[in-house]
Amino acid sequence: MPVTRTFSIIKPDATRRNLTGAVTKMLEDAGLRVIASRRIHMTKDQAEGFYAVHRERPFFSDLVAFMTSGPVVVQALEGEDAVKRNRDIMGATNPADAADGTIRKTFAESIEANSVHGSDSDENAKIEIDYFFKPEEVVG
Ligand code: IDP
Ligand code: MG
């Protein structure tokens, strides 16, 4: 499997409960390496731009409000088949559907406050990493 990159966000429900380390440990134990990390409080503009693909979805404005409700940790991750590896350890969007041992099954509060974001393709991973990090901030 080639080593690739993906983009992760530890969401406000997780930072509020002091789970940054616990979530990151699950990512690392799954074979992912944190190659960039920053704690930020997203602006409304940043969150709307990041989730622009979901603009027409009924939950869009709630999602933007949630993602700007507290600090998040944005991360670039590297590992073999990183996008799929991260999606596997994250678990299903709705924690009620997530498999045992996944981050969302372990920590998520709801389908919205589901603790983590992960890119869904290599193409989007690059777009999302570039949205939050300058090239020199990503150190593999
Ligand atoms: P994903 O995060 O598993 O890739 P997406 O469908 O890309 O799921 O949705 C982005 C985010 O929007 C989810 O992680 C979750 O926070 C929120 N979301 C998705 N579906 C719903 C919903 O039906 N109600 C409320 N929030 C939702
Ligand atoms: Mg998604």
105-115 residue pLDDT tens: 999 999 999 99
The chain-wide mean pLDDT, for the chain, equals 98
Give the Å distance between the CA of 51 and the centre of ligand 2.
9
Give the Å distance between the CA of 113 and the centre of ligand 1.
9
Rounded to an integer, the average pLDDT of 70-91 is 98
Rounded to an integer, the average pLDDT of 87-105 is 98
Rounded to an integer, the average pLDDT of 48-72 is 98
Find all residues with CB under 8 Å of 38, minimum gap 6, and list them: 73, 74, 132, 133, 137
pTM of the complete model:
0.98
CA distance 115 to 22: 11
- Give percent of the chain with pLDDT exceeding 90: 99
pLDDT band at 77 (very low <50, low <70, confident <90, very high): very high
